[in-house]
A and B are shown apart, each in its own frame.
Chain A
Amino acid sequence: MFKKKSSLITWIILGTLLLIFMSLEIAGHLIAGKSSNQGKSHFVENNTDQVGWGETSLKNKDLRRRIANLSPRELCIVIDTANNTLNLKKEEQIIRKCVISCGSGNILNEPGGGRKWIFDTPKGEFFVKSKIKDPYWIKPDWAFIEEGKIAPKDAKDRGEANFLGEYALGFGDRYFIHGTLYTRLLGRNVTHGCVRVGDEDLRELYMATTIGTKIFIF
């Protein structure tokens, strides 16, 4: 008798829960259906029979022209950090394709200190800020910390020649497009944020670009 009663109660509870669930489902479908029908569809067809279409078409043309005018007419650099490629472009034409290395995305925490570095290549729009021949690397603190060493206070103890290749193009907040000794790692995400390029490609980039050349990184 007791077993029958508890079984019945269980079925009633399950039935009630199912009813609530189905009600919510139906309510959800109804609300979603009503929202979709409130005057706009997700795809609004371009009805060209409307009054003023000729004028609208001219306005569209004008808008397209204004957008096109925003794009750089000169050379620009487009960096794909996911595929580690760099394209030197002029409008739609690719002048040169390069295999590069971008940021590793790794994190370095300063032992016993509060500083933290995330080695990403920044994404967005930049421009060439500086052009340097035979760059000399002044190692930042993280380079010593990463090796488990203490960073020297004197700048002359931080220098390393021939590490960044023959040229460097500065952009953003102390980031550079520069050369590398580790050419076998080109195509991989191995840097501390800078963009490493092979010698020949770097020379071409240095010769072709000027201060102000746009750099787009994604």
Chain B
Amino acid sequence: MLLRLISFFALLAVPANILGYCSALNDPERILLESEFTLAKKPGLYFIFNLKDKKISLKARGILLREWEIRKVRYWGNPVAVKPIALIDKMVLLPPKRERIKPGESDKEEKYEVKALELDDMPSSYTLSLTGGIFLSLRPEAKGWISIFPLALNTLRWRTLLPLKTVWFFVRKKPFTSIEIVLKIKRESQAFYWAFTEGTECIIF
């Protein structure tokens, strides 16, 4: 009884915000909801990478616009804080090229040949650079014998290049996190590249 009383008064002595912080650390869902609320209040689109439930959600004002299923995920480096971060840059070997219209040469639309930047022109494997030294590498799930070589290259990159990058960022005293996300099919990966534009905010959970 005495021990309980002492514990009770000891708890009262602790500032409420510390208690809240402690329970928040043990309640990652609350941190996620608080972060999402800050994004949902603003006009515009945002993404939630729910690595635990293996899905990426595109939302605006709290409503779900589109969802991507994650097949596999692996990560390397510093842990990621559950807070809004923004996309800085998309890094891809062969970025999609926009057509340049030549004045006077456009066809009448009856015999129109579509020359445009469409979903099929988007890359399916790419890396996204986010604030806080976070790099997201996305690719579709590899299937068949033809995927052996790119998979082997990817594994080599993961095992050899990432440790070197870690040292590089460590020397520069900057955080470094690499997360590899494998999506279901090529088209899903392309659609994600299309939808996630520079400056858009996201939360990684």
Contact = CB atoms under 8 A, between A and B. Distances in A.
B45 A104 contact: no
Contact of A146 (B24, B75, B101): B101
Chain A CB count within 10 A is highest, among B27, B44, B62, for B27
Contact of A40 (B79, B118, B165, B166): B79
Contacts, number: 180
Contacts of B43: 124-125
A50 B30 CA distance: 14
Contacts of A78: 65
A105 B52 contact: no
Given A28-B163, A31-B166, A42-B80, A123 B45 contact: yes
B116 A63 contact: no
Nearest to B115: A106
A148 B23 contact: no
A216 B23 CA distance: 36
B92 interface: no
Interface residues of B, number: 65
B202 to A, nearest CB: 13
Contact of A46 (B29, B41, B76): B29
A37 B29 CA distance: 21
B158 to A, nearest CB: 11
A124 B44 contact: yes
Contact of B63 (A55, A71, A190): A71
Contact of A32 (B24, B28, B114, B163): B163
A82 B115 CA distance: 15
B104 to A, nearest CB: 2
Interface of B: 19, 23-30, 33-34, 36-37, 40-41, 43-45, 51-52, 58, 60-63, 65-66, 75-80, 98-101, 103-106, 109-110, 112, 114-119, 122, 160, 162-167, 170, 175, 190-191, 194-195, 197
